[in-house]
Amino acid sequence: MRKEQRQVFVYNKTRETFLAFRVKVADSSLGRLVGLLGRRSLQPGNGVWIVPGNAVHTIGMMFSFDLVLIDKDFKVVGMRELLRPFTITRPNFRAESALQLPAHSIFCSRTQIGDQLLIGGYEAREALQGNGNGRTEMESLPLDFRPPTIYGRDFQIAQQGSTLDSQHPTFPQA
């Protein structure tokens, strides 16, 4: 029986925009290898977060997507818009993980290199002994990236000076 994959949201704190609401976490060897393979498209608001990863391939894919490379502090260190099928990206050695997002997500969210991202709902796995490339899994998230409740009604991201009605949750219920 297949284990249910975790999902997270990705919020650009610098630009105060969302990149995606339903991002599947690919933090196993098989999950990282497969990524988006087998899909015919990537729906708006969806994506795949490859952890760890500093490059991707699109061999066998049938659609273009946006790629955001993130360092260990969740800052954007690289981007590729409209990454076409049957390409391989060069490794970005500052990147610790990669976000595969629907085409035009970078443009719509105004994301730029150096932006600070917030990835919510991800509970990092315990550090592994190693995975052969000298890297280990992330041990924990910085404290400011772990709000008290991610999917609860009391977690909302609002611009300064605006008010949100607590009866309307900002994020989809898990």
Neighbour-count burial for 82-105, b at 16+ CB within 10 Å, e otherwise: ebeeeeebeebeebbbbbbbbbeb
Q: How confident is the model at residue 172 (pLDDT cuts 50, 70, 90)?
A: low
161 within a domain of the structure (yes/no): no
In a domain, 82, yes or no: yes
Task: Specify the number of domains making up the chain.
Answer: 1
What would the mean pLDDT of 115-119 be, rounded to a whole number?
Answer: 95
Please state which of the ranges 6-10, 26-30, 47-51, 143-147 shows the lowest mean pLDDT: 143-147
pTM: 0.66
Residue 38 within any structural domain of the chain? yes
- Which band of pLDDT confidence, cut at 50, 70 and 90, is reported for residue 3? low
Does 160 fall in a domain? Answer: no
Contact 117, 49 (CB under 8 A): no
Residue 173: inside a domain, yes or no? Answer: no
CATH number of the domain that residue 86 is part of: 2.60.120.1140
Q: Which two tokens stand for residue 138?
A: 């992330």
Task: Read off the pLDDT of residues 17-42 as tens digits, 9 standing for 90 and up.
Answer: 999 999 999 888 887 777 777 777 88
- The pLDDT of residue 4 is 61
Of 22-31, 78-87, 108-117, where does mean pLDDT reach its minimum?
22-31
- State the DSSP H helix or E strand holding residue 109, giving kind and residue range, or none if neither: helix 105-109
Please say whether the beta carbons of 57 and 51 come within 8 A. no
The answer to whether residue 57 sits within a structural domain is yes
| pLDDT(131) > 60 | no
For residue 107, pLDDT over 50 is answered with yes
pLDDT for 27 equals 87
pLDDT at 149 over 70: no
15 part of a folded domain: yes
| Domain that residue 42 falls in | 7-130+138-145
Q: Is residue 65 situated within a structural domain? A: yes
Q: What is the mean pLDDT of residues 104-130?
A: 77
